[in-house]
Amino acid sequence: MRFMELKTKLDPALDDLCDDCTAEFAMFAAETKKMFKAIPRSHHDRFDIELQSKLSESYVVPSSGLMAIGYALEEVSKSGDENYPRRLDHQ
């Protein structure tokens, strides 16, 4: 629901970025036998606060890739894991 709250701040041409596709992603994961986990809002809120303090006034929201990497490093990986974040490409 976090992104729905941001919808009014975005240019109308970008409003589809706020669509909640959680159910569709969960169904796709189940159909393809993949793990699915939604990043908790508390994680997003904390990242948002930290980034706002470091970035310009034009900042809107952290990238989904940054959110996923941060969540994986902080909440999913365990002591002794080797993590190799890679460049994300949206093409």
Residue % of the chain over a pLDDT of 70: 87
Asked whether residue 52 is assigned to any structural domain, the reply reads yes
Between CA 33 and CA 52 the distance in angstroms is 37
Asked whether residue 89 is assigned to any structural domain, the reply reads no
Averaged pLDDT, 47-75: 80
| Residue carrying the six token digits 């993590």 | 83
**Phi, psi (deg, nearest 5) at residue 56:** -75, 175
In a shared domain, residues 3 and 26? yes
Asked whether residue 32 is assigned to any structural domain, the reply reads yes
In a shared domain, residues 19 and 50? no
Domains: count for the chain: 2
Whether residue 89 is predicted with pLDDT greater than 70 in this model: the reply is no
Asked whether residue 13 is assigned to any structural domain, the reply reads yes
Could you tell me which residue, 13 or 78, shows the higher pLDDT? 78
Q: What is the mean pLDDT of the chain?
A: 82
Whether residue 31 is predicted with pLDDT greater than 90 in this model: the reply is yes
In a shared domain, residues 45 and 73? yes
Averaged pLDDT, 37-62: 80
Residue 27: predicted pLDDT? 96
Between CA 4 and CA 29 the distance in angstroms is 23
Whether residue 91 is predicted with pLDDT greater than 60 in this model: the reply is no
Give the closest residue to 44 by CA, choosing from 15, 69, 67.
67
What is the extent of the structural domain holding 43?
Answer: 39-77
